[in-house]
Each structure stands twice: as C-alpha cells, then as structure tokens.
Amino acid sequence: MNEKNSNRRVVIKVSRGIGYLLLVGAAFCTMIPMLWLLTSSFKTANEIFAVPIQLFPSFPQRVESSPYIVENAYRNIEKPDAVADEMVWETLVPELTQTVWTQAKAHAAANAQLSNYVPSKELQAEIVEGLWQQLVTSLPDAVWDGTRESIVAAVQEAIIPEAVDTIWGSVYREVAVGTLQIEDLDFNRPPIESVRWKAETGTSIRTSSDSQTAANLSYEFRDSKTVRMTASISSPIPVERIRRVILPIRGDASYHHLDLTVSVLPSTGNTRSTTYQPTRSFILESELWKDGVWRLHGTPGELEASHITMEQVETNIESLTTTGTGTETQLFLQLTIHQPGYLSIVWDKFTSNYRNLWKTVPYNQYFINSVFIATASTLLTLFFCSLGGYAFAKYDFRGQKILFGILLASMMVPFQVLLVPLFGLMYDIGWLNSYKAIVIPFSVGAFGVFLMRQFIVSIPSELLDAARIDGCSEFGIYYRVVLPIIKPALGALTIYSFLGSWNGYLWPLIILRDEAKYTLPIGLANLVGIYRQDYGMLMAGTLLSLMPIVILFLAMQREFVQGITLGSVKE
C-alpha cells in the first residue's frame, strides 16, 4: 500500500511538473508578439525586412572612414539546386561573377546618383552576392539546364536597374549634401548662388553629375575625432530675417553627429562676428536623403519638432572679410562631423525610431487625446452602467423584464450597422469633430449594464433595507453600500471599457476632422503611407501605446481577477 501511495505521489508530481511546463510554454507563446514588437522597435528598415529573418537588432559597426562598405550583408554565392554537376558549376562561377559585376557597373554608370562611387573589391563582392541572391530566386530551373552561353545570357538579362539600385544602396554608404536653401520669416526661399564646399583636414569633396547632389563627402578620423568642411555664400536675406537654413543630407548610417554653424562675415577691419550654433546635432542615422533644418528665428509649428534650434553667440573670425556688393549678407557656413563614443552610437541607433516618432508626428498630442477620451469614457461607463445594473437588479417596475430582454438583444447588433444613423445624429446635433461624439454615445453599454446587474443581484436585499431604515437615501445606498461591494466587477469593467476606448479606430476616424484631435490609433495609422512605410516607428509607437493598458491592468489586477472568478466557487 505504501509503495502504491509513493508511486501515486510520483505520478502526481510529474503531472504537475508537466502542467507547469505547459503553462510556462503557453505564457511564452503569448509573449512572442510582444517580444517581436519590442525588438522591431529597435531595428532599422533593413533589419526588419532582412532575409532570412533577423530576430534581434544588430549593434552598429564602428566607422572610422567614409565611404565604406557594409560587409557580410549577403550570403556567399551558392550553387543552385538545379545544377547537379559540381565541376560544371565551378567553371561557371568566375564567368557569372564577372557578368553580374559588368552589368551592375553599367547600370551604376547610367545612374547619376551611383556614378560617383569609390570602387573596391569589397564593394564588388557585396554587389555580386546581393544580386546573385535575387537571381537564384527569380530564374527558373530550366535556365540552368542550358548551355554556358544561354546561362550567361539569361543571368545578364535578369539584372535590372531597380535591383542594382536597391543592392547598391544597401551596401555602399557615403555622405552627400544637396542644394542649400534659405527661408525668410515670410516663408519665401529666394534663389542663391551654388555653394562651393571646401574640404578641411581629414576630408575630401567630389562633385557629382546628379542634380540632387551638390557634393559627395569623404572623411577619415585620424588624430582628431572631428572633421569639417566650409563654404561662404551671399544671402539675399538679412540674417535677422532668416527663419531656416535647409540642407538635404544623405547620411552613411554611421550615427556620427553633424553640426552646422552659420556666421555673418564681418566687414573689413572688424573681427567681431555674429554666429549661430546648433543646440543639438543632426545624426547620420540613415542612408536615405533627409532634410537637415536649422532654425535661426521664428516660432516652430506643430509638425516642426525635427528642426534644430540655433542660438546666437558673438565670436571672433579673423582673416575673413566681406566680398559682396553690400546689398547681400555674407555668410560663412561650417559643417562639422564628430565621432561620438561607441556607447553613444549604440544609444542613438537603438533609440532612432523613438526619436523620429516624435519628430514625424505630434505623438504627445495623440497620447493626451487618447488618455482624455479613454478616461472620460471609462468613468461615464462605470457610473451609468452601475446605475443601470442597480436599477435592473434591485427595483421592480412595470416592463422590467421586457426592457432587460431588449437590452440583451441589443448586444447582438453589430456596431457597423449603427454607423450611418449614429453619424447622422451627430451631424444633426452639431457634434462632428468633437470629443463629445466619441465619449457620450458609448457611455452606456449593454454588456456593462448586464455585468453590473449580475453582480448586484448577489447582494442581499436585507442589507439595502437596513440602510433605508437607517435613513440613507437611494443614491446614498448606491454610493455607500453597493459600489464598495461590487469593486471586483468595477475593476473588470474598467479594463474592458478602457481597452475598447483606447483601441477605438473606426468611429474616431469617421468623426474627427482636425489632426490636433486625433487619437493614437489614427495617428499611428498615418505612419503607413502610400510610397513608404516606416514600420520601425510604427512598432515604437505601438509599444508605447501599450504602456497605459499594462499599467492599468497591473494597478487593478486584484479586482480584475476577483471579478472574473467571483461565483466560481460554491459556498
């Protein structure tokens, strides 16, 4: 008997252990989407769309000179499965490699943006490997059964300019600047003469035939962690009326810091100059073109958070004098690239999506709007649903069962059916583009009233009668007796109502017209454009939008668990 009991205990312990492992596995599976959301918020666009899938964001490489090649971006050339003979493949590889590179160079020469590249063996290897991966997946198996000449011709024909541009842009990184523009306080941008940048120590400048590129910049950090280039221009706008200086920049994804300093050249015999210095740096975090905007005067707009504010200081500039006609302001521009510490580079890389999120959309305003709407809607839902549930549970009146049946039946009506009549009602009473149209129509829900009624029914009526005998009013009974008892139900309804209002998208999208009143779901949906989708910023914004829900659940976890388990155990 003792042996049987011992074996039974062992079986029970093993079963419990397996059950615990299954629960842990299930919990981990439910956390996979959250973990993917978290890691994707730290990734660049290349890492998000990497093939094969890249689970975690990579650390940025330490760049000492630019232009540079992103090494190991693609896998080495592998034999296609359709080629059975290893000897034939080994003889084909050199010719195919040369064919791919020859075609890539021809396409690059025809593209003004790529024609000014710095050739290297590393670049050739990465371009060939990248194009080869696309060729292997696109060419049919029948191609590899042909002759040597037909295979080479098929590979040559398969290389298209769009693929070359994509692969080239993913492995070749170089800093370039575009055409400088100056904007006055009236938002006018008068034409200025072409800017001729001069290279300083550690830099060299190459002109480009591309109309978008004014100069390609090569630099190398040697003895100093700072390199710079300068230019002098004649501005038709007086410096005190310059609102912004706009300079398109194509970064090299090195996460180095770039600063623009604007100085007014002094007149002959004067060494004092007015200089505008940036309050923060422009980070070379992307290999795409992006406008660097430095603000000298004026008040920024709502969507101009990415502008870099300039502060005015007095400096000494010697051996530089004005050469203009006197009707134009002579400006001295200095672009400085600084190499920060590696920890700062890692921080800039992992927080890039979050910083760009605040610069691209008014995220703070969206967040405040959602908090206000969700909080107001939840409070009204708790108040009216608990009142309705109290009335259905503890008051007898004519038509009670019929009204409660109609209430339950309304839960089966899809919300989409009510969209048109509800929109017409909001239009008639003048509530379009207002928070009232989002909060008030949904302050009473059939599910909430039903949930409150089921909990309040369990409260003994004698307890309410005793309160009446003590002289408590009907509202006092509801406030002092009923509400404290149904806290678990209120906690469950709070999470349900807040979550529904926080994630609401369709109705706010229909009602709201003013972008300043948008909620988070609408604002985040605007990040997905027609021509470009920045999923990194979308992941970052979505992750931040989950924080209030997580905090609310943790704060009301006890009430929520009690609410869903109350009545499950028989007294």
Q: Given pLDDT bands bounded at 50, 70 and 90, which one contains residue 569? A: very low
Each residue's pLDDT tens digit, 192-251: 888 888 887 777 888 776 777 888 888 888 778 888 889 988 888 888 899 999 999 999
Most confident of 69-83, 136-150, 165-179, 248-262: 248-262
Per-residue pLDDT, 321: 44
Per-residue pLDDT, 317: 54
Q: Given pLDDT bands bounded at 50, 70 and 90, which one contains residue 511? A: very high
Total-model pTM = 0.79
Mean pLDDT of 136-165: 83
Helix (H) or strand (E) holding 2: helix 2-40
> Which of 270 and 156 is assigned the larger pLDDT?
156
Q: Which CATH class is domain 363-565?
A: mainly alpha
**Closest to 255 in 3D by CA, of 280, 227, 284, 228:** 284
> Which of 97 and 272 is assigned the larger pLDDT?
97
CA angle 535, 171, 527 (to 5 degrees): 15
Contact 381, 442 (CB under 8 A): yes
In single-letter form, the type of residue at position 429 comes to I
**E strand segments, 317-422:** 329-338
Centroid of chain to Cα 394? 51
Per-residue pLDDT, 267: 61
Residue 129 has pLDDT above 90, yes or no: no
Q: How many residues does the chain have?
A: 571
Q: What is each CA distance from 540 to 236, 289, 338, 550, in whole angstroms?
A: 42, 22, 27, 16
CA separation for the pair 390, 474 (Å, rounded) = 11
Per-residue pLDDT, 442: 87
Per-residue pLDDT, 350: 93
CA separation for the pair 323, 328 (Å, rounded) = 10
Q: Which pair of tokens denotes residue 86?
A: 């290893």
**Closest to 441 in 3D by CA, of 427, 458, 456:** 427
Pairing assessment for the beta strands 308-316 and 289-295 based on DSSP bridges: parallel
Centroid of chain to Cα 443? 32
Burial 154-172 (b: 16+ CB within 10 A, else e): bbeebbeeebbeebbebbb
**Closest to 390 in 3D by CA, of 509, 497, 474, 503:** 474
CA separation for the pair 425, 419 (Å, rounded) = 10
- Could you give the 3-state DSSP secondary structure of residue 273? strand
Mean pLDDT of 539-552: 88
Q: Which pair of tokens denotes residue 148?
A: 């040597």
> Would you call 445 exposed, middle or buried from its count of C-beta atoms within 10 A (0-12, 13-18, 19+)?
buried
Residue 567 has pLDDT above 80, yes or no: no
Supply the mean pLDDT for the chain: 84
In single-letter form, the type of residue at position 105 comes to K
Per-residue pLDDT, 518: 92
Mean pLDDT of 125-149: 83
Per-residue pLDDT, 211: 74
Each residue's pLDDT tens digit, 354-393: 988 888 888 889 999 999 999 999 999 999 999 999 999 9
Written as one string, the DSSP assignment of 199-214 is E-TTEEEE--S-SS-S
Per-residue pLDDT, 320: 47
> Would you call 122 exposed, middle or buried from its count of C-beta atoms within 10 A (0-12, 13-18, 19+)?
middle
From 32-36, 277-281, 433-437, the region with the lowest mean pLDDT: 32-36
Per-residue pLDDT, 210: 72
> Which of 76 and 403 is assigned the larger pLDDT?
403
Residue 100 has pLDDT above 70, yes or no: yes
Pairing assessment for the beta strands 257-264 and 226-235 based on DSSP bridges: unpaired
Contact 541, 520 (CB under 8 A): yes
Residue 568 has pLDDT above 50, yes or no: no
Q: Which pair of tokens denotes residue 336?
A: 């400085």
**Closest to 310 in 3D by CA, of 284, 285, 281:** 281
Instruction: Classify the C-alpha dihedral 22-25-27-29 as positive or negative.
Output: negative
Per-residue pLDDT, 560: 62
Per-residue pLDDT, 155: 85
CA separation for the pair 568, 566 (Å, rounded) = 6
**Closest to 287 in 3D by CA, of 121, 50, 540, 66:** 66
Each residue's pLDDT tens digit, 470-486: 888 888 999 898 988 88
Helix (H) or strand (E) holding 101: helix 86-110
Residue 77 has pLDDT above 60, yes or no: yes
Q: Given pLDDT bands bounded at 50, 70 and 90, which one contains residue 94? A: confident
Each residue's pLDDT tens digit, 324-363: 445 578 899 999 999 999 999 999 999 999 988 888 888 8
Q: Which residues does 320 contact at the CB level (< 8 Å), separation at least 6?
A: 232, 265, 266, 332
Q: Given pLDDT bands bounded at 50, 70 and 90, which one contains residue 322? A: very low
Mean pLDDT of 168-186: 90
> Which of 13 and 512 is assigned the larger pLDDT?
512
